[in-house]
Structure 1
Amino acid sequence: MSAKWALSLLAIVMLWTVSLTAQADNLPPAAKLDAPLPDGWPEPSAPGEIEVKQYPAYRSAVAKSGMKMDRADGILFWQLFAHIQANEIAMTAPVVNTYNTSGESDQVEMEFLYRTTKQGEAGNGLGQVKVEDHPEQTFATLVVQGKMNAEVYQTSLKELQAWLEKNPQWKQNGDPRRLGYHGPMTPQAKRLWEVQIPVEAVEAK
């Protein structure tokens, strides 16, 4: 695992300074992914599209913080990086950030995904890291290409929430998350992100 890749991933979770300005129909071709996806993980959708996607059960290393997302990202990244390095776990894409705002204080959760559910084992990891198994889940997802910041993230969430209002056959059933597929070695205009809301089907009455 190279130091170059580690620095690239650190930049993924810390680049929150510039808003997305290019429109989907004017974007250059997206770059190839920086690392392999976990087994069965779907490819990113086309930029600007909202799609409902099914994700398989997976295993990941998880770190959490009660700090604001911009302060937590770097700390969580290095906790997770130390864990996978110590356990010889190869890096995958994307890096997943989940944002819980339903409690009294915000909580940021970051995940490094394992390639398969047979890799390693669930339980305590290095330091504060936990290795967790996650069930299969369905997400409404919006792909963003370009630069990412908090404003773009919130705007994307509003687009997804508006889409859910127009598609009442789906309802939200969890906290939103952000997926980052590229690091700083990829030109900013070609980087892909997915902003997602977990959903479940509403039974017809």
Structure 2
Amino acid sequence: MLTRYVMVFLAISLIAATCHRVEASEKQMPADLDAPLPEGWPEPTPPGEIAVKDYPAYRSAVAKSGMKMDRADGVLFWQLFAHIQANEIAMTAPVVNTYSSNDDSQQVEMEFLYRSIKQGNAGNGLGQVKVEDHPQQTFLTLGVVGKMNADIYQESLQKLEAWLEKNPDWKQSGDPRRLGYHGPMTPQAKRLWEVQIPVAAVKQD
């Protein structure tokens, strides 16, 4: 019963790896995570810190919507929650939202991550949900603590883009995403998020 409550609390709020520390500032420390990380995932980026991080291959349940960020969260959550309940998949943290452009008015994709790539099977899930395998990838990531909305997401994205302008050894290689680690039972001021841009190293001549 406790596990089920944790699953609901974590997801509604959204309504091994190498970490290279590159920038940091003092921020309020977030609460402990509401659920375990998937196998091999790095620890969350501390609030205010920008880091380049490697993520392992993973499996997740995926749902998509053409709604804006704040509206899409609730719709996608219920689809994914029904899927993991029906398949007895335990909740993990974070819940991942990927946006098809830097403007969140485009397609939103939400993921509930499986604990292991050996858990379940890729393919069709419940209803509109798909279970997909994702390759190993590198992300430029900013830790954020407290409130999260479309404006804060865009501000965070701008900080990452500014970092890329100052660090030409890296370039963007895909769509940005937002990771959420806490649900509404955690005080808003202590909720931890990450905003990320997939990156690739620029080959030197």
TM-score, normalised to structure 2, is 0.90
1:17-166 pair list within 5 angstroms: 25-27=26-28, 29-101=29-101, 106-166=106-166
Higher relative contact order at CA 8 Å, sep ≥6: structure 1 or structure 2?
Answer: 1
1:94-123 CA distances to partner (integer Å, 9 max, x unpaired)?
A: 0000010289x7100000000000000000
Letter in 2 for 1:176: P
Give me the whole-angstrom Cα distance separating, in 1, the residues matched to 2:30 and 2:58.
Answer: 26
* Match in the other structure for 2:14: 13
Three-state SS of the structure 2 residue aligned to 1:13 is coil
Three-state SS of the structure 2 residue aligned to 1:194 is strand
TM-score, normalised to structure 1, is 0.90
RMSD (CA atoms): 1.6
Three-state SS of the structure 2 residue aligned to 1:162 is helix
Three-state SS of the structure 2 residue aligned to 1:197 is strand
* Match in the other structure for 1:176: 176
Deviation at 1:25, TM superposition (A): 2.4
Runs (5+) with no aligned partner, structure 1: 15-23
Letter in 2 for 1:91: M
Q: Percent identity?
A: 75
Letter in 2 for 1:5: V
Deviation at 1:42, TM superposition (A): 0.4
Runs (5+) with no aligned partner, structure 2: 16-24
Give me the whole-angstrom Cα distance separating, in 1, the residues matched to 2:27 and 2:37.
Answer: 27
Where does structure 1 differ by over 6 angstroms across 4 or more consecutive aligned residues? none
